[in-house]
Chains A and B, each alone.
Chain A
Amino acid sequence: MQWIIDISYFVVAALFILGLKAMSSPVTARKGINWAGVGMILATLVTFLTPGMRNYGLMLLAIILGGGVAWVLGKRVKMTDMPQMVAVYNGMGGGAAAAIAALEFARGEVTGAVVTTLAVLGALIGSVAFSGSIVAFLKLQGLMKKAWKVPGQNLFNGLLALITVLLGALIIASGPSTPVLLLFFLLALVLGVVLVAPIGGADMPVVISLLNAFTGLAVGFEGYVLHNPALIIAGIVVGASGILLTQLMAKAMNRAITGVIFTPITGEAQASAG
């Protein structure tokens, strides 16, 4: 049975790479998404064959609920609302990667310096992508109109990021303990909110692309924790192409990525300047 799974994951990785390649040309783009779709279905089906698994009923329910809701919403939403839907679904992926990390910590399966480091990194990046994408969605959907800006924003964000990274280092150095893990996840989620909250709507596509690359990296890192090559390859390919795509998008808009994040153009700032 294991060889079927191994070969399938290999085919899945190839389909994803070919699909992305095809998607970067207007002539073949629609073929590309369908190849990647076939890859996704194959990957999901074959995972059910993994020996020694349990909770099949609950798992199927979660897939039907999550997939069903997302499918219906994706079909119904207006074409102009597409970018925020990408943000939401990207956030879901980041959240899933963080939840995998939390689950593996709870199971006590995270041992060894390298595995712990990548689990912590995946959890941090995944949580930031999760909460950050939800803020991006709220802003584009017009549900969060005020630019949230306080004096010393960058200093505050920097300190918060530093504390979160130090907590992560503590988990790596002295092993996971429940209170530290809880605080770590909480701060990582807050970090995603405060990073995206001050950014203006015009810069949002670049930010969503960056968060998309983040989720890819988180997925790749959790793939290492689970020793799953399909996750590693798909995650890292998306992470690298996402970072390049973010640069290309920022360039097309004449903005530097660092400028988007550290000196956001907000409605209020423009109003006070003009």
Chain B
Amino acid sequence: MNDFFYIYIFMLAAFTGYEVISRVPVILHTPLMSGSNFVHGVVLVGAMYAMGHAVTPLEQALGFFAVFLGAANAAGGYVVTERMLGMFRREKKEPIQPIPTPEKVS
């Protein structure tokens, strides 16, 4: 593919990202942050590809590190988002609880 073609993909993807979440209610800010954290876990795919072409021990170690971290991002991101959104299940007339924001630590 022509290099310039990728610039178009970058631009269109940026507009898509902006547009897709532009009307998100405040209550969903944290779950959506978590959800998009899960989506960039697709870095796992890139890590697998890079590791699949590693030859020397150093390259293999870097690849292992990348795949390990990428898998953790994807799996952890899913579990955490799924649990947060589980709180939105509308049963038993329970009021929707906002996701707790962290305590002040400073």
Interface residues of A (CB under 8 A from B): 12, 16-17, 19-21, 23-26, 29-30, 32-33, 36-37, 39-40, 43-44, 47-48, 50, 52-56, 58-59, 61-71, 73-75, 77, 79-80, 82-86, 88-90, 92-93, 95-97, 99-100, 102-104, 106-107, 109, 114, 139-140, 142, 145, 147, 200-202, 204-205, 208-209, 212, 215-216, 219-220, 222-224, 226-242, 244-245, 248-249, 252, 265-268, 270
Contact = CB atoms under 8 A, between A and B. Distances in A.
Contacts of B55: 54, 107
A220 B51 contact: no
A215 B44 CA distance: 13
Contact of A238 (B26, B40, B85, B100): B40
B21 A92 contact: no
Contacts of B17: 20, 236-242, 244
Given A232-B6, A245-B33, A139 B105 contact: yes
Contacts of A224: 6, 10
Given A80-B100, A89-B80, A232-B9, A96 B70 contact: yes
Interface of B: 1, 3, 6, 9-10, 13-18, 20-56, 58-60, 62-89, 96, 99-106
5 contacts: A19-B39, A29-B85, A71-B75, A99-B69, A230-B45
Nearest to B44: A44
Contacts of B23: 24-25
Contacts of B10: 220, 224, 232, 236
Nearest to A234: B42
A68 B75 contact: yes
Contacts of A209: 29, 33
B65 A83 contact: no
B56 A106 contact: yes
Contact of A103 (B50, B75, B86, B101): B50
Contact of A237 (B20, B50, B62, B81): B20
Contact of A231 (B16, B45, B75): B45
A234 B87 CA distance: 26
Q: Give the most central of B27, B86, B101: most A CB within 10 Å.
A: B101
Given A23-B28, A53-B53, A240-B18, A67 B72 contact: yes
B39 A92 contact: no
A55 B63 contact: yes
Contacts of B70: 66, 92-93, 96
Contacts of A73: 76
Nearest to A265: B106
A226 B67 CA distance: 15
A201 B106 contact: yes
A66 B43 contact: no
B46 to A, nearest CB: 5
A249 B36 contact: no
Given A33-B35, A53-B49, A100-B50, A252 B67 contact: no
